């Protein structure tokens, strides 16, 4: 039985090669039948493309009206250790991260800052943490502050 299953594709290939005109005709008949069946089923093809832009704009307008603090852009800040054995949960690194987050909170267009230690945004290895910043302005309208938080070692 197993040998017959192995030989089946070989037999099919030989048949298709020997009677290639018949096989081509069958494929053409099948294609024409599929097209005719699609036409007869009454399904209409969409001829106009509808852009999701108006819906996206509407959602943005509703968000701006109802929750203006969360209608702006979002940023992710990555905190990582510079040496292989250190962790962001160590006291010195944790203090530096919290200091940087405090400085970021003082930027005028920042609505909220998610602390990686409270939001469980620390990697399992403890070497990377993610902070989330919610802006009150759209990403294109965010102004560069005069004093940016400096990079902490």
Cα torsion angle, 10, 16, 19, 20, sign: negative
Q: Please give the Cα distance from 98 to 79 (Å, whole number).
A: 11
CB 128 within 8 A of CB 86: no
Q: Measure CA of the first residue to CA of the last residue in the chain; give whole Å.
A: 70
CB 131 within 8 A of CB 114: yes
Alpha helix ranges (H) inside the chain: 2-18, 20-40, 53-66, 91-105
CB 115 within 8 A of CB 88: no
Per-residue pLDDT of the chain (153 residues; tens, 9 = 90+): 567 778 888 999 999 999 999 999 999 999 999 999 988 887 666 555 565 566 666 766 776 677 666 667 788 889 888 877 788 888 888 899 999 999 988 888 888 888 888 878 898 888 899 988 888 777 667 776 655 555 544
pTM of the complete model beyond 0.75: no
């Amino acid at each position: 039985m197993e040998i017959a299953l192995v030989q089946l594709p070989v037999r099919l290939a030989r048949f298709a090669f020997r009677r290639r005109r018949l096989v081509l005709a069958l494929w053409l008949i099948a294609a024409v039948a599929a097209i005719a069946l699609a036409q007869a089923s009454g399904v209409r093809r969409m001829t106009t493309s509808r852009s999701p832009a108006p819906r996206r704009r509407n959602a943005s307008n509703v968000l701006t009206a109802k929750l203006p603090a969360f209608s702006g852009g979002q940023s992710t800040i990555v905190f990582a250790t510079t040496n292989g054995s250190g962790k962001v949960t160590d006291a010195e690194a944790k203090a530096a991260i919290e200091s940087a987050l405090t400085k970021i909170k003082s930027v005028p267009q920042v609505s909220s800052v998610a602390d990686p230690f409270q939001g469980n945004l620390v990697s399992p290895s403890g070497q990377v943490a993610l902070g989330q910043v919610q802006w009150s302005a759209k990403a294109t309208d965010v102004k560069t502050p005069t004093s940016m938080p400096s990079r902490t070692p």
